[in-house]
Chains A and B, each alone.
Chain A
C-alpha cells in the first residue's frame, strides 16, 4: 500500500543547528506515529516539514493531502465558533459534536478557553476529511474527557485508512509507533 507520508534522507537545519540528519520515515494508511523527544529536538519542525510549510535542506518529502493542528488558532476570533470553522471546512457539524463543542457553536472564538480552542482546531482537522492528520502537541490544554474523545476519533480515523503523525513529549493514548528525536 502506498505510504501517506514518506521522508527520504531528510536533513533539516534550523538556525545553523542540525535538528535531524538523513531521516527516513514511512507512514502507511492505518498507522499512527508519535514523534517524541525533549524540548527543542525538532518535533514541531518535523511536523511543519511534513505539512510542506518548511523545505528540507537535503532529501525529499512526499505527502498526501494533510490537515494540521498546532498551537496556532487560525480561527477568526470575532466570529462564532461554527462560522469560524465554516470558513475552513464545509460541514463542521459532525466534528463539532465529536469534540463536544455543540454548546459553544454560537460563542465567539475570543471567549473560548484555551482547551476549547484546542478542541476547535482539532475539529477542523477531523472535519477536513484529509487522510493524513498532523498534530503538534495534541494533548496540550485538553482535559481527560477531551483526550478520550480525541483518542476515539483517532482510532476511527486509523480504521478508515487514515494516518496520524503526532508530536508530543507526553504519552499519547492508544497504540503508537515511536520515533525519538535526539536533543
Chain B
C-alpha cells in the first residue's frame, strides 16, 4: 500500500499542480532583474538569496492540496482502514510531495540562475543547498497542510506558520553551512511525519 500511495500521489501531482510552484519560482526570478535593474554585479550578489526566497514562497503554493482533498473525500479514512498508520500515510505524502517538488525546482534553478547572472560555482552551491533543503521544506509543507486541514483560508494561515519554520534552513543555506543545513533538514524531515500523523488523527470527526 505504501508504494501504491506514493505512486498515486506523485501521479496526481504531476498531472496538474506540480507545475505551479515551478512556474511561480521562475516568475519570481524573472521579476527581480526588472525590479532592481540589470546590474550584473548586483544581481550576482543577491542571486542565491533571491532563489531561496523564490523557493520558499513556491513551497507554499501546493500546501492546500497536499492533505485537505484526501480528508474531504474520505481517502484518509479508507487508508486508515487498510491498517496503515497515520504516520506512514504522512511519510508517503512527504516522499511523493518531494518527488514532485524538489527535482523540478533543482532543474528550474538553472534558467533562474541565468536570469540572475549567477556564475557556475554560485549556481552549484545553490543547487547543493536546495537539494539538501527541499526535503525539509517538503516535510514542513505536509505537516502544516495536515495541521491546517479543513480550516477556512488555510492557505494564508499555512504561509504564516511555515515561513518561520523555514528560517533556519534559509540562514544555513545562504551561508553555505551545508552540515548545519543538512542537520536542520533532517530534523524537520524526521519530525514531520509524527506531527502530520497526529494532526490527521486529531482532525477526524
Contacts and interface: CB of A to CB of B under 8 A. Distances in A.
B77 A51 contact: yes
A65 B84 CA distance: 12
Contacts of A88: 78, 82
B78 A68 contact: yes
A148 to B, nearest CB: 26
B80 interface: yes
A53 B77 contact: yes
Contacts of A53: 77, 80-81, 204
Nearest to A89: B82
The main secondary structure of chain B at its interface with chain A is helix
Interface stretch (A17-25, A72-80, A161-169): A72-80
B65 interface: no
B15 interface: yes
Most B CB within 10 A of own CB, among A52, A88, A124? A88
Given A54-B204, A78-B15, A66 B74 contact: no
Interface in A44-101: 48, 51-54, 65-68, 70, 72-74, 76, 78, 87-88
B73 A72 contact: yes
Interface residues on A, range: 10 to 19
Given A53-B204, A76-B12, A67 B74 contact: no
B23 interface: no
A47 to B, nearest CB: 11
Interface string B72-106: 11110110111100000000000000000000000
Contacts of A74: 73-75, 77-78
Given A52-B80, A53-B204, A54-B204, A70 B8 contact: no
A86 to B, nearest CB: 9
A72 B75 CA distance: 8
Given A53-B204, A54-B204, A87 B77 contact: no
Given A51-B81, A52-B80, A72 B74 contact: yes
Given A54-B204, A70-B74, A76 B80 contact: no
Contacts of B77: 48, 51, 53, 68, 70, 72, 74
A94 to B, nearest CB: 19
Interface in A2-51: 48, 51
B76 to A, nearest CB: 9
Given A54-B204, A87-B8, A67 B73 contact: no
Contacts of B74: 70, 72-74
Contacts of B4: 87
B12 to A, nearest CB: 7
Contacts of B15: 78
A124 B4 CA distance: 16
Nearest to B74: A72
Interface in B125-162: none
Contacts of B83: 65
B81 A52 contact: yes
Given A74-B74, A78-B15, A66 B204 contact: no
B92 to A, nearest CB: 13
A52 B79 CA distance: 12
Contacts of B12: 76, 78
A76 B204 contact: no
The list of the 7 closest CB pairs from A to B, nearest first, reads A72-B74, A74-B74, A74-B78, A74-B75, A74-B73, A53-B204, A53-B77
Interface of B: 4, 8, 12, 15, 72-75, 77-78, 80-83, 204
